[in-house]
Amino acid sequence: MASSSRSAFKAAVFALGLTAAVSAAAPARAALVVEADAWSPLSALYDGGLRLAQDPEPGQTTTPRPNAAPAGEPPRQARKRALLYSLLVPGMGELSMGAKGRAVGFFTGEGLIWSNFIYWKVAGHLRKDNYIEQAMLNAGVGVTSESDDYWRLVGQFERSSGSGPGSYEEDLRREARDLYPRDPAAQDAFVAQKLPTGDRAWDWSSPDLQSSYTTTRENSKRAFNRAQYSFAAAVLNRVLSVIDVQLLRRKAAKELRSGWTRPDTRVYADTDADGYGRVVLERRF
C-alpha cells in the first residue's frame, strides 16, 4: 500500500515538472481568448458579450467582436413593416427596432396631440350649445339645428324682419334692388325666399346680449379651429417618426459594416514571461 502511494506521488511530481518545463519554453505572449463570465468577476458588471484576450502576436490581425452585433442587415420586409408601424402609430417603428427611448417620445407626442384634439372639440361643442341657448332665450330663436351661416346672421343683425338699421330684411331689400332694379315683383320674391320666418326669426332684446352671443360664437369657432390643427400635428408626428426609423436603419447598417455595436466594451489581459500581467478595460462610444 505504501509502495503504491509513493509511486503515485512520484508520478504527480513528474507531471508537475513536465508542465513547468513546457510553460517556460512557451512564448512570452499567448493568444488565448477566454469568455469573461468564465473566470472574471467583471462579467457581473457587463454583458456576457465581453471578451478577455491577450495581445496578438506581431503580424497577426484580429477582428473586433461587438457585444450584440446583428447577424445581418434587417430584411427588406422588416424595414417596410417598421415604416408602416410609424405611419399608423408614431413610435411603433422605433419600438420594433429596439429604440424604446425614442418610441416613448413619439408615443407621448401622439397622446398629447389627440388629447388636444378631444379637449378643443368638446370645448367647441359646449360653447356652441351656449350661444344657441343665448339666441333662444334673448332673441326668440326657436330652432337649434341650423347652418353656420344662419347663426352668423343672428349675430350680425339685431332683428330678422322690419325696416331701418340693424334689420336683415332691410339688407335683403337693398340687395334685391341691386339685382332687379326695375322689377318690384322679383325683388319681393327674392326677399321672401331669403327672409327667415317663424321659429327661424329673431329679435334681440338688447345690444349687450347680442354682443355676448357673438363673443361666445367666436370662441366656439376658435376652439373648433384649434382642434383641426391637431390633424396637421398628427401628420407631422408621423413624418418625423418615419424619418427617425430611416435614420435608425442607416445607423444599424453603418455599425454592421464597421463591425462595432456601440457602445462597445472590451477587456484585454496580457502577461509576460515572469508571470506578471495587466488588465486593460476599453470602452468605445
In this predicted model, what pLDDT tens digit does every residue of 235-263 receive, in sequence order? 999 999 999 998 988 887 787 777 555 55
pLDDT at residue 118 above 70?
A: yes
Q: What is the pTM of this model?
A: 0.58
| 48 occurs within a structural domain | no
Q: Mean pLDDT across the stretch 120-125?
A: 98
Lowest mean pLDDT across 76-80, 173-177, 196-200, 238-242: 76-80
E strands along the chain, which residues? 33-35, 51-53, 264-271, 277-284
Domain total of the chain: 2
- Whether the ω angle into residue 263 lies within 30 degrees of 0, i.e. cis, is yes
Q: Mean pLDDT across the stretch 25-33?
A: 39
pLDDT at residue 12 above 90?
A: no
| 2 occurs within a structural domain | no
Sheet bearing 277-284, strands edge to edge:
33-35, 51-53, 264-271, 277-284
pLDDT at residue 177 above 80?
A: yes
Which of helix, strand or coil describes residue 285? coil
Same domain, 153 and 183: no
CA angle at 192 for the pair 186 and 198, rounded to the nearest 5°: 175
pLDDT at residue 206 above 60?
A: yes
- Per the prediction, the chain carries an average pLDDT of 77
Same domain, 83 and 147: yes
Same domain, 88 and 173: no
Q: What is the pLDDT of residue 50?
A: 42
pLDDT at residue 99 above 50?
A: yes
Q: Per residue in 157-195, is it b (16+ CB within 10 Å) or e — as a string?
A: bbbbbeeeeebbbbbbbeebeeeeeeeeeebeebbeeee
pLDDT band at 138 (very low <50, low <70, confident <90, very high): very high
| 70 occurs within a structural domain | no
| 122 occurs within a structural domain | yes
Q: What is the pLDDT of residue 42?
A: 44
Q: What is the pLDDT of residue 85?
A: 86
pLDDT at residue 91 above 60?
A: yes
Same domain, 209 and 172: no
Q: What is the pLDDT of residue 264?
A: 60
Same domain, 134 and 212: yes
pLDDT band at 43 (very low <50, low <70, confident <90, very high): very low
Same domain, 245 and 154: yes
Same domain, 128 and 171: no
Q: Which amino acid is at 80?
A: K
Of 31, 35, 30, nearest to 50 (Cα)? Answer: 35
Same domain, 135 and 221: yes
Lowest mean pLDDT across 69-78, 160-169, 216-225: 69-78
Same domain, 187 and 202: no
Calpha distance 230→118 (Å, rounded): 9
Q: Mean pLDDT across the stretch 202-207?
A: 96
Calpha distance 283→85 (Å, rounded): 34
pLDDT band at 195 (very low <50, low <70, confident <90, very high): very high
Share of the chain above pLDDT 90, in %: 50
pLDDT at residue 124 above 80?
A: yes
Same domain, 216 and 254: yes
Q: What is the pLDDT of residue 253?
A: 79
pLDDT band at 183 (very low <50, low <70, confident <90, very high): very high
Domain holding 216, by residue range, is 76-160+196-258
Q: What is the pLDDT of residue 98?
A: 86
Q: What is the pLDDT of residue 37?
A: 41
Same domain, 171 and 246: no
| 250 occurs within a structural domain | yes
Same domain, 128 and 235: yes
| 136 occurs within a structural domain | yes
pLDDT at residue 186 above 90?
A: yes
Does residue 248 contact residue 94 with C-beta atoms inside 8 Å?
yes
Boundary-marking domain end, from 179, 194, 209: 194
Q: What is the pLDDT of residue 58?
A: 53
